[in-house]
């Protein structure tokens, strides 16, 4: 397996994998509304490729802003693995790589909605997300966060939204549609 930054030619296979893994109804979920009209963090989108270049798994991160102070953070997801390859470590390898790259790139906090049983071993906890709110329904126990620096959570609280500038651009696009 080779982990690399997602390339333009990976976009369609990644979307197909996400359809298989999460279904087309995923677009109505709260975290997908945060992604609407926002480009993912290109340097934090990864694919795991097999020996023949086939897509095994993918992971993306998206920019977000938290609270009135618009504290920057990243939203993890989706993490998707080909169904027949689940449980073989591809997702975990992408997670370790993605978290480390986010840290190296200077990000202080990662937020996600996912199964705590899977994400807790990477350091994500519900406790780190208690002062945060999502702009829509979510199962509380699945709303998790990870501080990447010792002071990452200091003073960070409130509603999660799109980064400044991007939120306004997305609103304009919706009005035109």
What domains sit in the chain, N to C, each tagged with a CATH number? 2-176 (3.40.630.30)
| pLDDT of amino acid 165 | 75
- Both tokens assigned to 80: 């998707």
Least Cα distance to 166 among 59, 49, 38, 11 occurs for 38
The answer to whether residue 154 scores a pLDDT higher than 70 is yes
pLDDT classification of 30: cutoffs 50, 70, 90: confident
Contact 124, 79 (CB under 8 A): no
| pLDDT of amino acid 32 | 86
Q: What is each CA distance from 130 to 109, 125, 135, in whole angstroms? A: 14, 9, 14
Give mean pLDDT, residues 111-120. Answer: 97
Q: Which residue has the higher pLDDT, 29 or 158?
A: 158
Share of the chain above pLDDT 90, in %: 82
The answer to whether residue 166 scores a pLDDT higher than 70 is no
The answer to whether residue 174 scores a pLDDT higher than 70 is no
| pLDDT of amino acid 176 | 47
- pTM, whole model, 2 decimals? 0.89
Alpha-carbon radius of gyration of the chain: 16
């Amino acid at each position: 397996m080779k982990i690399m930054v997602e390339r333009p030619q990976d976009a369609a296979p990644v979307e197909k994998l996400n359809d298989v893994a999460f279904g087309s109804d995923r677009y109505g979920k709260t975290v997908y509304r945060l992604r609407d009209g926002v480009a993912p963090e290109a340097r934090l989108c990864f694919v795991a490729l097999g020996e023949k270049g086939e897509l095994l798994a993918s992971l993306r991160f998206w920019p977000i802003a938290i609270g009135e102070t618009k504290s920057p953070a990243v939203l993890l997801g989706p993490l998707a693995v080909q169904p027949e390859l689940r449980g073989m470590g591809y997702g975990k390898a992408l997670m370790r790589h993605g978290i480390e790259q986010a840290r190296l790139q200077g990000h202080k906090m990662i937020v996600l909605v996912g199964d705590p049983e899977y994400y807790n071993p990477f350091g994500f906890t519900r406790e780190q997300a208690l002062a945060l709110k999502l702009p829509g329904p979510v199962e509380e126990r699945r709303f998790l966060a990870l501080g990447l620096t010792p002071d990452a959570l200091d003073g960070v609280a409130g509603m999660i939204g799109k980064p400044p500038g991007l939120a306004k651009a997305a609103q304009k696009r919706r009005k035109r549609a």
